[in-house]
């Protein structure tokens, strides 16, 4: 995991070696329609992609990503909900905060291998919920790591997975543009964190008026298409649109 110097493994468990740490799990993960985290009382189950604050002498030293991209079970000695300014975000994010003191047992050092964990991670991507503190260049690597940890292969070439990621990551200041295109420009000033993720539902909205009109949520798609026309944004022509025009 990133920041492994702050943790140690002993007798089948992971323990904290830093003076103090806080785990910030977005409240959005706990929503019923998301199901990326679950409060089980004495433990909290979550997909292990969230920010961790490391403290020394009562002050925040640094923020790191806890990158175990599969379901894990954390010991919840205490927890509270408050807004936190997470790395690479512009606004405070409501988070469930799990505090750990030095020597505290954090979780088991092993995780359960289960194909449902791969399905949950796929839903995380399709829902556009991968944390903004994950650099764009590591998104494919983390997805493959999830599959390896759970003994799963999706049965498609890696290029298909990369295609899904490329359309899910959008330019932060202009979501109608794929982030890969934005950061790939010769004159680009973008960093690997200057993106916003789009859910599968939103991708049609950003692509073109034609794509939006064929999607299920007609109301929001009609509004986005009208706004695109008023602002004279460029349109991406879909293959189906070309066939109909013929």
CB atoms within 10 A of CB 189: 8
CA–chain centroid gap for 178, Å, is 17
Percent helix, strand and coil across the chain, each to the nearest 5: 35, 30, 35
- pLDDT of 245 reads 47
CB atoms within 10 A of CB 157: 9
Range of lowest pLDDT (57-66, 73-82, 147-156, 199-208): 199-208
Beta-ladder partners of 51: 24, 65
Residues near 77 by Cβ (< 8 Å), separated by ≥ 6? Answer: 98, 99, 100, 104
Q: How buried is 24 (Cβ within 10 angstroms: 0-12 exposed, 13-18 middle, 19+ buried)?
A: buried
Compute the chain's Rg from CA coordinates: 20
Number of helices and strands in the chain (H, E): 8, 12
Q: What angle do CA 19, 22, 28 make, to 5 degrees?
A: 170
- pLDDT of 210 reads 46
CB atoms within 10 A of CB 226: 12
- pLDDT of 243 reads 41
pLDDT above 50: residue 82: yes
Dist CA 37 CA 98 (whole Å): 13
pLDDT tens, position by position, 121-136: 999 998 999 999 999 9
- Answer for the pair 140, 161: CB distance below 8 angstroms, yes or no: yes
- Domain layout of the chain by residue ranges: 4-108, 115-245
pLDDT tens, position by position, 193-231: 999 998 887 777 665 544 444 455 544 544 444 454 555
Long-range contacts from 146-153, C-beta under 8 angstroms, 24+ separation: 146/69, 146/70, 146/117, 146/118, 146/121, 147/118, 149/69, 149/70, 149/111, 149/113, 149/117, 150/70, 150/113, 150/114, 150/115, 150/117, 150/118, 151/113, 151/115, 152/115, 152/118
If pLDDT is split at 50, 70 and 90, which confidence band does 57 have? very high
Dist CA 90 CA 125 (whole Å): 21
């Amino acid at each position: 995991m990133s920041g492994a110097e702050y943790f140690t493994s002993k007798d089948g468990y992971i323990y904290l070696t830093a003076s103090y740490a806080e785990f910030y799990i977005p409240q959005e993960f706990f929503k019923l329609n998301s199901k990326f985290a679950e409060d089980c009382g004495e433990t909290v189950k979550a997909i292990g992609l969230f920010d961790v604050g490391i403290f020394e002498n009562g002050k925040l030293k640094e923020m790191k990503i806890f990158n175990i991209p599969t379901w894990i079970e954390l010991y919840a000695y205490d927890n509270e909900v408050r807004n936190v300014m997470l790395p690479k975000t512009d606004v405070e994010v409501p988070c469930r905060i799990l505090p750990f003191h030095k020597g505290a047992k954090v979780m088991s050092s092993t995780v359960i291998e289960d194909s449902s964990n791969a399905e949950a991670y796929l839903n995380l991507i399709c829902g556009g919920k991968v944390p903004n503190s994950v650099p764009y260049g590591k998104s494919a690597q983390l997805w493959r790591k999830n599959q390896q940890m759970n003994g799963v292969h999706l049965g498609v070439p890696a290029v298909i997975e990369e295609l899904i990621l490329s359309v899910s990551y959008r330019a932060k200041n202009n979501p109608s543009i794929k982030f890969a295109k934005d950061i790939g420009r010769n004159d680009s000033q973008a960093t690997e964190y200057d993106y916003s993720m789009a859910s599968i539902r939103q991708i049609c909205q950003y692509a073109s008026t034609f794509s939006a009109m064929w999607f299920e949520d007609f109301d929001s798609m009609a509004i986005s298409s009208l706004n695109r026309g008023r602002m004279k944004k460029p349109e991406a022509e879909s293959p189906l649109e070309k066939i109909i025009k013929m």
